[in-house]
Amino acid sequence: MSAHRDHDFIPSSYSRIIARELGLQERDLPRLLAGTDLPVDVLLAGDESRLTGRQQVQVLRNARTIAGAPELGLRIGRQLKPASHGPIGYLALSSPDLLTALQSLRDFLPLRIPFAQLDINEDGSWLRCELRITLQQDSSETRMLTECFAMALQSLVEAFLGRTLTEALFCFHFPRPAYYRAYGQYLQSMIKFEQPEDCLLIPRSLAGESNPSGDAASYAIARRLCAQMLEETPIAATAMTNRVRRFLLAQPLGSVTEADVAKSLYVSKRTLARRLNKEGTGYREVTEQLLSELAVRHLGEPGLSIESVALLLGYHDSANFRRAFRRWYGMPPADYRKQALMN
C-alpha cells in the first residue's frame, strides 16, 4: 500500500477551494497540479473527479510553494464552510442539536474525506472532538491538514450555533510554529500546542444546544432540491452558464456575490461577463432563472411556508420575494401554489 493511500479518493472540490484561496487565474492552474498527472479540468466548476491521497498531498505541496505562506493551512481551512462538504455539511446543519450535528459529521466525513477521522467522547465538563489525519506525509503537511480540519470543525460549530465559538479549546500535538501569533486571527478559542492529540474541546453544556434556525427541516428540504437540480445541470467545461449555475447550486443561496463566483471560476468579473454574453446571457439572468426555478420547486413542498421559501432563496424580506415571483410568473406565490395543487 502506498504511503499516501492511493485507494483513498478525495473530491476535486477541495482542490478548487485551494485554487480560489491562492487567487489563481486560468493560466496558473497547471502549477497547482504539477506532478499529479491530473488535467486542468478537475479544477473547473462542475467537475466530479476524485483525487488519490498522493495527488491531494502533491496539490498541497504545490500550493505551499506557490503561496510562500507558512499559515496556508489556516487560510485554506477558513474557506471550508459546511457547504464545502456537500450534503454532509447540510445534514449536520439540519440536525436538531449540536451533538447530533457533530455525530453526523463524524459518521459521514469518511465518505467525503477518507483520510480524515473524527472521534467524539465526553470528557468531564468537555465534549472531546479528536481529529485524526491518516495520510502519511512530512510534519509540515500534517500540520497544514490538521489546521484545515480544525478550521472546518470550528466553522461547522459556529454555523450551527449562529455565533462565534470563543469558549472552546484547540489542542495540537505539534510544537508551536514560528507563525503561532497568526492563529488568533483564525481560531477564536484558546489554543495549546504539544498536546497528546489533536482535538477540539467544546463545553459539554453546548452539546444539547438546539438548532437556532428553528427550521432545520426546511433547510434539509432546500438542500435536497438544490442537489436534484445540480444533478440535472449539464457538466460542460465550455459552457460558462452551466459552470455558474452549478457553483450557485452548491452554495447556500444568497451567500455569494458575482465577484465570488468569478473567483471560483478563476476569471475576473469582466471575463465572466464577456463569456456569459457570448452565450447570450448575463450573471443577473442566470441567477434570476435559477431563483425562479427553485421558487417553483420549493412551493411544491407543502411543508414550506411562503416566508420559509423566501428565506431559503436568500430574501430576508418576504415582500421582496413576492414581488420577484410576480415578476417571474405574473402572480403571487400563494396563487401559484393553489393552482399547482389543483392540477
Q: Per DSSP, which regions of the chain are E strands?
A: 9-11, 50-52, 116-123, 126-133, 169-171, 190-192, 199-203
Of 191, 212, 233, the one marking the end of a domain is 212
As a dihedral over the C-alpha atoms of residue 17, residue 274, residue 46, residue 35, rounded to 10 degrees, the angle is -60
In this model, does residue 2 exceed pLDDT 60? no
In this model, does residue 216 exceed pLDDT 90? no
pLDDT per position as a tens digit, 243-261: 888 888 776 666 678 888 8
Residue 328: in which H helix or E strand, if any?
helix 318-329
In a domain, 303, yes or no: yes
Of 193, 212, 231, the one marking the end of a domain is 212
Mean pLDDT of the chain: 84
In a domain, 198, yes or no: yes
Is the Cα dihedral 204, 210, 211, 213 positive or negative? negative
Alpha helix segments (H runs only) across 130-268? 139-161, 216-232, 240-249, 258-264
> Structural domain tally of the chain?
3
Q: Which of 85, 65, 89 is nearest to 160 (CA)?
A: 89
Is the Cα dihedral 166, 167, 172, 177 positive or negative? positive
CA 299 to chain centre: 26
pLDDT per position as a tens digit, 93-150: 677 788 888 888 887 777 677 788 899 998 889 999 999 887 767 788 889 999 999 9
CATH number at residue 247: 1.10.10.60
What are the cell numbers at 189? 478559542
In a domain, 73, yes or no: no
Are 90 and 205 within one domain? yes
Are 57 and 106 within one domain? no
Are 143 and 175 within one domain? yes
Domain residue limits at 35: 1-68
Q: What is the pLDDT of residue 87?
A: 61
Q: How confident is the model at residue 1 (pLDDT cuts 50, 70, 90)?
A: very low
pLDDT per position as a tens digit, 14-51: 898 899 899 998 889 999 999 999 999 888 766 777 88
Are 103 and 88 within one domain? yes
Are 173 and 62 within one domain? no
The overall pTM is greater than 0.75:
no
Are 175 and 224 within one domain? no
Q: What is the pLDDT of residue 72?
A: 92
Q: Which of 3, 119, 110, 21 is nearest to 73 (CA)?
A: 21
